[in-house]
Every structure is written in C-alpha cells, then in structure tokens.
Amino acid sequence: MTEPAVPEPPMGLLAELTYRCPLACAYCSNPIEIAAYRDELDTADWQRVVTEAAELGVLQLHLSGGEPLLRRDLADIVATASGLGLYTNLVTSALGLNEKRAAELHDAGLDHVQVSLQADEPTLSDRIAGTPSFERKIAAARTVRDLGWPLTLNVVLHRQNIDRVDRVLAAAEDLGADRIELANTQYYGWAWHNRTALLPSREQLAQAEVTVRAAKERLRGQMEIIYVVPDYYATYPKPCMGGWGARQLVVVPTGDAMPCLAAHELPLPRANVRDGSLRWIWEDSPMFSAFRGTDWMPDPCRSCERRDVDLGGCRCQAFALTGDATRTDPVCHLSPDHHLVESAVEAANADRAGETVSLPLVARPHA
C-alpha cells in the first residue's frame, strides 16, 4: 500500500492569541461560546508554537484574536517570531494601539499592521462595532503610518455598510493605506446569527462592484484594493483557506489547531498544541487530514472538472447549512443543497428595497 504523501509546509500561521475583545461586532466569526476559551496559552506556549511553526516552514505569522493587544506579552511573541525570520502581521481593532504600545511593537520587529474599520464615519462605525471606537481607530492608523509600517485596512462588508463603499475607499485613501481588503461577510459565529440583517441585496452588490472596479483603476499603483465577492452570490465556491490543510493553519487561544477559523464547529477529533507537536498536527492529525486533497469528495464534486480548483468549497459552510461537513458546499450551483443558499438570497431581496440599517443586530458580547 502506498504511503500518503507528506503535505507541503504551510505558508502562514494565524495565531488567535485571545478571544477577548473591546468590540462587539455582530459579524464576528469568533465562537459563540467564548467562555470556553479562557484557558489561554501562556507566553512560553506561544513562543514554542511560533518556533515549531518556523521549523515546519511557516513564513508568515498573523497575530489576531479577539484583540491581540489585550495580551501584555504581545511584544515578546513578536520578538520571538522576528528573531526566527518570520514576517509578522498584527490584525487588530487598533483599540489600545497608542504611541507607546506601537513603539514597543515596532522595536520588537513587527512588520505590518492591519486595522479593522466598520464604516467611514463615527455614528455608523460605532454602532456596528458596538462601542465608541472610530476616532481611536483613525488615530491609530495614523500612528501606523508615522512609524513607517505598511498599513492595511480591513472592512467587512454587509447590508448595513456596503452602500458606503465609495466613502470607505475615500477614507482609506485619506489615511494613506497601502492596501484595503473589502471582504463580504462570511456567515460563521455571530454572523450566522445575524445573517438576515447582514446579507446584502443584488442591487447593493452590483453598485458596490461598479464602485470598486472604478477605484481599482483610478488608484492602480497607489493602493491595492482586494474585493472578496460574497459566497452566497457566487456560482462556484472558493477553496477554503486555499484548500483544507494546504497553505494555512490556525491556532486558537486554548491551543486547538485547525485548518480554518470555523473548524471548531465540525465533529472532528481535536488537535491541540499542548498535546502534540505542530509538525504532527499538520502532517498526520485527523483534523488536518480529514478533507485534505480530493479523495474524500462525494459527487458532484468527485466527478467535477473543478474539483482541483475549488476543492469542494468550504467544509464549515457545508456543515452550517446542511449539518454534514462532507456535503458539497451549497454555494455551488451544482450542489444538491443549493436551494438553501437560494432561499437566503431570495429573502435578502424580498420587499427590502432601500433598507440598509434598520434591521436589528445581535451583538457579540464584550469579552
């Protein structure tokens, strides 16, 4: 019997240092049961994980959460990664990124900062974030530029802010951002509970795409604009994280390692860095091997000429919509479960003309 091939090393590690956060965003993809993640890895644990990641072949370390700035040892973790030659990226709400903290992280070797924005102006931004934060975010973004870091802005788009994408882009241009990610909401965690209030209409998407295309042309060579099309309106699904266990791995605050952000919801054996090496987890654990490659696929994926392109789509989305992680992602128009997505899209477009900000949101609790 042929031994399974050893997978290529991952390019990136997303270290979710804590799920504590000063914001209460209704589209948050963090787990609903945040209390179950209070037993966080300590400094030495994270330094070991980062070291094992470098030995495995990881090139990029993304430090996220929750809010990673709530970890007092953040600079120590950054310094360890920098000393190992990893490219370090802080993914932050920017609350807490004052001049003193920013200088500390700069001295530790941090390479890049990604700041989240919820909208282009205080009232809407603060309502979506669940706390007054807009002005502090803008000030922090300017601090990032003053220290010479590359600045990426991340804006999660949804029904309640997508009509302002032109003004969001103008705000990014004013801040001198090098890059902006306009990412339509992924419906996991709290976003799943708020899908009705967040899923945009076809009309909103069409207008946003016209605006983004024009901005890309106008700002070519000045600011990179990444626009992520919403899954529910796509003909084919996107490959999850570039393929399950193919390019990226995630380690959550309690040490569970996963191929993607929402895999904690799947009925798979856990793989924890407290119990095994990162190399074993990546190469051999059931968590990472479950949907790696194409052998696991049922039809229509198994016989589809796109099976090596979209790799069956998102396992977590399939599970959320059907209760079965092995099903073809219902986003795919060939999926036998595509009607589940069609129903959600129809609801988002039914008798809601012009409605953008009036639907209530269930906010993620402050933690």
What are the two backbone dihedrals, phi and then psi, of residue 325, each rounded to the nearest 5 degrees? -70, -15
**Buried/exposed code over 69-95 (b: 16+ C-beta within 10 A; e: otherwise):** bbbeebbebbbbbbebebebbbbbbbb
332 is known to lie in a ligand binding site: no
> What are the residues facing 227 on neighbouring strands?
182
- Closest alpha carbon to 211 in 224, 223, 227, 198: 227
CA distances from 213 to 153, 164, 205, 209, 264 (A): 18, 15, 12, 6, 36
Phi, psi angles (nearest 5°) of residue 32: -65, -45
For the chain, the farthest-separated pair of C-alpha atoms sits apart, in whole angstroms, at 63
* CA dist., res. 109 & res. 313, Å (int): 36
The amino acid at 200: P
Cα dihedral 12, 90, 65, 273 sign? positive
- Count the residues in the chain: 367
Tokens of 34: 């945040």
- Look up residue 255 and give its two tokens: 């040490």
Gap between the Cα atoms of 128 and 25, Å rounded: 6
* Burial degree of 148 (CB within 10 A; 0-12, 13-18, 19+): exposed
Characterize the bridge pairing of strands 179-184 and 87-92. Answer: unpaired
Beta bridge partners of 228: 183
Radius of gyration of the chain measured on its C-alpha atoms? 20
Is 301 marked as binding a ligand? no
Please check whether residue 126 is in contact with residue 133, taking contact to mean a CB–CB distance below 8 angstroms: yes
The DSSP code for 158 is: -
Strands 12-18 and 248-251: parallel
Binding site listing: 21, 25, 28
Binding site listing for [4Fe-4S] cluster: 21, 25, 28
